[in-house]
Structure 1
Amino acid sequence: MRILRTDEARFAGLPDYPFQANYLDVEPGLRMHFVDQGPTNGAPVVMLHGEPSWSYLYRHMIPMVAEAGYRVLAPDLIGFGKSDKPANVTDYSYSSHMSWLARWLEDLNLTNITLVCQNWGSLLGLRLAAEHHRRFSRIIVGNGMLPTGDSPVPAVFRAWKAFASHSPWFPVARIIQLGTERALSPGEMAAYEAPFPSAAFKAGARAFPGLVPVSPDDPASAANREAWRILEKWRKPFITCFSNGDPITRGGDRHMQRRIPGALGQPHITLRGGHFLQEDSPREFARVILDALKAEMAA
């Protein structure tokens, strides 16, 4: 497996991203980057990004939660951000992403975790929480789901999958902007492009849409169904925080609220924004996290 590593200089001076870099090898020669802010003895809050973003997506939320006394960890998935990038689309699979994240989780030995996840952060995070449920205390999902391939996918997703697979042009920052209601600044656009100095670095971003289970016999379907069996018994807090402007995940919040016992009676909320609600409503999203943590402390 040929591995590419983005030059650190490309990340110099990014707007609103002053965080120190941390690295962990998730297999020999393959390192994952993560942000680690707040007191090391604080209850951990793990923020998982999706496609084709990176931990920069959470830059406005990380300080708010860390300053409240929690340890905020935001990894860059392999193929994204400051993490290493295997060069071929075939180097990526749903199971390999799960293995890399599980290795990161276990090496840091995190427990009592609050999971915050969106987009592919949910496809990976919800399974991670199910498969390591003793490490997790609550889940907050924004614009995400855990598909099994047993239900039809929206037409807009099918179009996106075809584009990611076949388009010679894959403009990461413009894709983020299409999923965001507010106008990103030139500096923010450059920050989303920073991990990808050339098309060769985008294999992981191109691979993700093709890894979403869209049929019952998809390679990831059986494991995702098993994760659902665990989630359907999940009685720890489960909160949905979706936006009002995402055509891909619309309705997923109500689906999870019906199926997951821990969602009963929780303060589910709909925020203003597009697919990337961390860009459109970061303070409100962070407040949902802090309120959930404070409610647990008061209970």
Structure 2
Amino acid sequence: MGRTHTPEERFEGLPDWDYDLHGVTVGDDLQMAYVDEGDEDAEETFLCLHGEPTWGYLYRKMIPTLAERGRVVVPDFVGFGRSEKLTDREEYSFALHYETLADFVETLDLQNVTLVCQDWGGIIGLTYAAHQPDRFARLVAMNTFVPTYETEMAEEWHDFRNFVERVEELPIGMLVQNATATELTDEELAAYEAPYPNEASKAGAYAWPDMVPRTDGGDGGEMTEKAREELKSWEKPAFVLFADSDPITRPARDPLRGLIATADEQPDVWVEGAMHFLQEDAGEDIAEEILAFVDRT
């Protein structure tokens, strides 16, 4: 099993990212990095999970506001950000991401968690929360879904997946910019590129798109199917908060709001003018929406 760590100097001086590095050991002796801000003993804990091909940096606009209310924990999934990376794409699986997230949450013994998740952070995070509901107080699902082997993916998703499959050099910054309404600075684009000094370090980013459970492939559909059944009877508050301009996940919004039993008890809100990476386009506003959700519940 090939492994690599991105040199820490690649993360120095990133704009709006002056956070201490923390780490825990998960899975098969893998190192998982995270940011831990706010009061560790606060009543509220916000667990913020990123997706493809980003890392915890995606939440930089939301961390300060959320940290005023509670503890904010932002991990990088294995293969992303400052976490350890496997260099063989075939080593990545749904089970690997699920089990390392479970190890992470249980090692830190996170309780009373408000899950804030987007993209793959939702696919993995909502599945884990459905199986371990006692650790969670609330769900905030953003531009994500819980797909199974019966899920028909949007044409735009197939275009994206096909691009990743055929490209020889995965342009991380370009992928983030193309799914963001806001014009990112060169320094911000460099921050998204920072975890990946070479193509081998991008194995996780190459692997995730094709891993989505769907009618023609993917991985983990057995686990997501069980999660969907649990979410149908979910009893705790859930807030589905999607961008209005993301062609890939927008069609999944109403089905997800209909799936999670308590989601329709919350306001029917769209984040206007935002695309797939809504944390970039409206991070500060989203953080305020989340705090209002906490106040309501």
Normalising by structure 1, we get a TM-score of 0.96
Compute the displacement of 1:151 (Å): 2.6
Matched to 2:282, the amino acid is S
Partner of 2:287: 286
* CA distance, structure 2, for counterparts of residue 143 and residue 229 of structure 1: 20
* CA distance, structure 2, for counterparts of residue 123 and residue 84 of structure 1: 21
* CA distance, structure 2, for counterparts of residue 100 and residue 74 of structure 1: 14
Partner of 1:65: 66
Compute the displacement of 1:256 (Å): 1.7
2:236 maps to 1:239: no
* CA distance, structure 2, for counterparts of residue 216 and residue 166 of structure 1: 18
Partner of 1:111: 111
Compute the displacement of 1:28 (Å): 4.3
Partner of 1:86: 86
Compute the displacement of 1:166 (Å): 2.0
Decide whether the 8 Å contact of 1:148 with 1:216 is kept in 2: no
Partner of 2:277: 276
Matched to 1:171, the amino acid is P
2:11 maps to 1:11: yes
* CA distance, structure 1, for counterparts of residue 94 and residue 28 of structure 2: 19
Matched to 1:232, the amino acid is K
* CA distance, structure 2, for counterparts of residue 266 and residue 222 of structure 1: 29
**Secondary structure in structure 1 of the residue aligned to 2:79:** coil
* CA distance, structure 1, for counterparts of residue 242 and residue 76 of structure 2: 22
**Secondary structure in structure 1 of the residue aligned to 2:262:** helix
* CA distance, structure 1, for counterparts of residue 130 and residue 217 of structure 2: 21
Compute the displacement of 1:284 (Å): 1.2
Decide whether the 8 Å contact of 1:117 with 1:140 is kept in 2: yes
User: 4+ residue runs of structure 1 moved beyond 6 angstroms?
Assistant: none
Decide whether the 8 Å contact of 2:210 with 2:217 is kept in 1: no
Q: 1:144 to 1:79 in 2, by over 3 A?
A: same
Decide whether the 8 Å contact of 2:49 with 2:117 is kept in 1: yes
Decide whether the 8 Å contact of 1:34 with 1:75 is kept in 2: yes
* CA distance, structure 1, for counterparts of residue 188 and residue 5 of structure 2: 21
Matched to 1:54, the amino acid is W
Partner of 1:151: 151
* CA distance, structure 1, for counterparts of residue 280 and residue 104 of structure 2: 26
* CA distance, structure 1, for counterparts of residue 206 and residue 28 of structure 2: 24
Gapped runs of 5+ residues in structure 2?
none
Q: 1:219 to 1:251 in 2, by over 3 A?
A: closer
Matched to 1:294, the amino acid is D
For residues 96-131 of structure 1, the C-alpha deviation after alignment (integer angstroms, 9 at most, x for no partner) is 100000000111111110000000001101101001
2:53 maps to 1:48: no
Decide whether the 8 Å contact of 1:54 with 1:80 is kept in 2: yes
Decide whether the 8 Å contact of 1:78 with 1:85 is kept in 2: yes
May I ask how many residue pairs the two structures share in their alignment?
295
Once superposed, what is the RMSD of the aligned Cα atoms? Answer: 1.2
Compute the displacement of 1:83 (Å): 0.3
Gapped runs of 5+ residues in structure 1?
none
Partner of 2:198: 198
Q: Percent of aligned pairs with the same residue?
A: 38
* CA distance, structure 2, for counterparts of residue 154 and residue 65 of structure 1: 33
* CA distance, structure 2, for counterparts of residue 125 and residue 263 of structure 1: 16
Normalising by structure 2, we get a TM-score of 0.97
